[in-house]
Structure 1
Amino acid sequence: MIQGVIFDMDGLMFDTERIWTTLWAPALEKLGLPAPCEAFVSGARGLAGENMLRHLRQYYPQCDPNVLLAAVRAEGKTALANGAPAKPGLFALLDYLEEKKIPRIVASSSSHETIQRYLRISGADRYFTDTVCGDDAKASKPDPEIFLVAARHLGLPPEHCLVLEDSFNGVRAGHASGAVTVMVPDLQQPTEEILSLCDACCKDLNEVLDHLRHGGEEPFPRKAAL
C-alpha cells in the first residue's frame, strides 16, 4: 500500500530538461571547446555527481570537468532564474495527495537552493514539508541512496513509497530502493530494460493521478522482481 510519494524534480515536476539541453553549447563555447554532439547531450540526461563528471571527462578530456559543470550551471542559473513550467497534471496530483493526507517529498540531484527556488516560484512549496538533494546522498542515481534517505525522511519503509521518475537512472535507483517505481517519460522513452524495472509507465502525471484515484489499494501492481 502506498503511504508516501517521492518526487524527482527536473523533467518530472518541471519542464527543465529541454532547457538544460540547450545550455551545453553556450557553456562550451565560452570555454573555447567544440560544440556538443547529440550523443554527449543525450548521454548527460539524468546524470549527477561522479557519473556526470565521468561523462564530461569522456567527451572533453582537455577540460577540468568541474569547470565545465560550473559553466553549464551558470548558464542554467540565468536561463531558469524565473523557474520553469510545471509538467501537466502536477498540481492536480499534489492536490489529491494533500486531500488524502499522503505525505510528499522531493528527492532531486539538484541543489537545495535550486529545489527551493523552483518550488517557491511555482507555488508548489506548500505541498512539501521536506526535500532531499544530491548532497544528502554519498552516491548519485542509479544508486538508490537518495530514495532511501527520502523514505527515512517520510518515516516509511521504501516498499510503502511511490517513486515518480522520468530518467533511466532514476528508474534504476527507484527499483533498487525497493519502492514502487513509476516512470513518466520526458525526453527519453523507456527501453525494454527500463520497462522491466518500473512497475508502470504513465504518459503524464494526470495518468498517475488516475491510477491513484481508481486503482484501489494497489494502484500500481508490483511487476518488477526485487
Structure 2
Amino acid sequence: MQNKNGTTIKAVFWDIDGTLIDSEELHYQVIADWCEDYGYALKPADNDALLGKSMAEKWYILKERYDFQSDELRFRQECADRYCKAVHKDLQREEPTEIFKAISRTPVRQACVSNGDMVVVQANLKVLGLSEMVVFSISGDDVKKGKPDPEPYLAAAARLGVEPSECLVVEDSVVGVAAGIAAGMTVVAWPEKNTPRENYSATDYFVSSAAEFPTDLLPLG
C-alpha cells in the first residue's frame, strides 16, 4: 500500500476522457459538427492539437486557425450541450471503470480531475454510474491553468487535505501524465491498447490491462 517512495497512497485521482470513457472521438465529432454549422470545415489533423486540452484552449487554437466569428461562451455551451446529449454508457472503458469501483469499496478516497467543463464531467460520471463514488471533481472551470500544468492535481490534493506524494493519478494522455508528474504524484499511464510505451517514458507505471494495474499500492484485498 506504499508507492516507490515508501509513502502510503491515500487518494486516487482519475482523468475521465480517454481514461474512464472512450470519448475523444465524440468530443472531436461534436466540435467538427459545430464548426460545420457555423461554416467552418474542421480537419482531422486538428484533433491532434485539441487532444487533452481544455475547452478554453480548444477555442483559442481553433480561433487562431479559422478566425471564428462566434464567441467562446457560445462555443463552449453549445458543444457541451451536444456532447451531453450524445454521450452513452457503451463508451466506457470497462477495465478502468471496474478498478474505480473496486477502489470505491476501500477507505481510499477518489476524485476526478479533468480539463473538461464541469457539465461534461458530470455527464460522463452519470452515464458511467460513478457519480456517487467520487468525493468531488476538479474541472477546467476550477483552475487558471489546465493540464499539463500541475494546478488541477495540486488543487485536488489540497481540497482533500493530503500531500501530493500520497496521491495516485490515473491518466491516458501524455499531457495528463505530465501534469501528475509535475504535481509530485505517483502516476499510472493507462492509454488505449497498442499505444507506444515510449510516449510515456516519464510515468511511474504503464499498464494496458487491469491485470497490470499496481493494485499493491491500494488496500484492494
Relative to the length of structure 2, the TM-score reads 0.82
* 2:19 paired residue among 12, 17, 22: 12
Shift of 1:188: 9.2
Secondary structure in 2 matching 1:182: strand
The residue that corresponds to 1:30 in the other structure is 37
Secondary structure in 1 matching 2:94: coil
| RMSD (CA atoms) | 2.5
- Counterpart residue type for residue 201 of structure 1: F
Paired residues in the alignment total 210
Contact 1:84 1:118 in 2 (8 A): no
Contact 1:83 1:117 in 2 (8 A): no
CA deviations 1:1-54 (Å, max 9, x no partner) are 322100011111112112122223321110011x22222012211011553233
Q: Distance in 1 between matches of 2:105 and 2:75?
A: 44
The residue that corresponds to 2:207 in the other structure is 202
- Counterpart residue type for residue 6 of structure 1: F
Contact 1:56 1:65 in 2 (8 A): no
Q: Tell me: CA distance 1:84–1:156, structure 2 relative to 1, closer, same or farther (3 Å).
A: farther
Q: Distance in 2 between matches of 1:90 and 1:126?
A: 17
The residue that corresponds to 1:118 in the other structure is 124
1:78 aligns with 2:82: no
Matched ranges for 1:1-226 at <5 A: 1=2, 2-33=9-40, 35-48=41-54, 50-64=56-70, 66=72, 67-80=74-87, 82=88, 85-186=91-192, 189=195, 192=198, 194-204=199-209, 206-207=210-211, 209=213, 211-212=214-215, 215=216
Shift of 1:190: 5.0
Relative to the length of structure 1, the TM-score reads 0.81
Q: Distance in 2 between matches of 1:88 and 1:42?
A: 25
Q: Distance in 1 between matches of 2:27 and 2:48?
A: 11
Contact 1:168 1:190 in 2 (8 A): no
Q: Distance in 2 between matches of 1:146 and 1:159?
A: 15
- Counterpart residue type for residue 126 of structure 1: E
Secondary structure in 2 matching 1:5: strand
Unaligned runs of 5+ residues in structure 2 are 3-8
Contact 1:167 1:188 in 2 (8 A): no
Q: Distance in 2 between matches of 1:164 and 1:127?
A: 16
Q: Tell me: CA distance 1:65–1:195, structure 2 relative to 1, closer, same or farther (3 Å).
A: farther
Contact 1:49 1:140 in 2 (8 A): no
- Counterpart residue type for residue 102 of structure 2: Y
- Counterpart residue type for residue 93 of structure 1: I
Q: Percent identity?
A: 25
Q: Distance in 2 between matches of 1:85 and 1:78?
A: 13
Q: Distance in 2 between matches of 1:173 and 1:188?
A: 23
